[in-house]
Amino acid sequence: MDKLKQILHLFNTQNPGQVPVHYAIAFLFIAEHHSVTYREIEEELGSSNASASRIVNGLGDYPRHREFGFGWVERFIDPEEGRRYRVRLSAKGQAMYRDVERVMN
């Protein structure tokens, strides 16, 4: 539990009170994979497509319903299916994940 509290505190230091738990879960899910689709995020969180989209927007640099984005993820067109987007960690997100990994080890 102590490590979990440390990780949640790490997220909270980015912008106190502004990182919802489901954002943190989505971030960690994305970080554990090379890249994921919106559908995979939906399935992991048990959420709708609209919710997955809001989460990706907030985790990225393109918020619509928040004042800012964290800049931790970037989306790109899936090379295997041009009508679908994939999501991966940005350089800033990779740095954040390294911080999380330091807490875990």
The residue among 22, 5, 10 whose CA lies nearest residue 96 is 10
Integer Cα distance of 24 and 30 in angstroms? 10
What is the pTM assigned to this prediction?
0.88
- The single-letter code of the amino acid at 54 is R
Integer Cα distance of 92 and 71 in angstroms? 7
List, run by run, the mean pLDDT of 10-residue segments along the chain (105 residues): 80 78 92 94 93 92 73 94 94 94 88
Write down the pLDDT at residue 77.
95
Do residues 22 and 30 make contact, with C-beta atoms less than 8 angstroms apart? no
Integer Cα distance of 64 and 74 in angstroms? 15
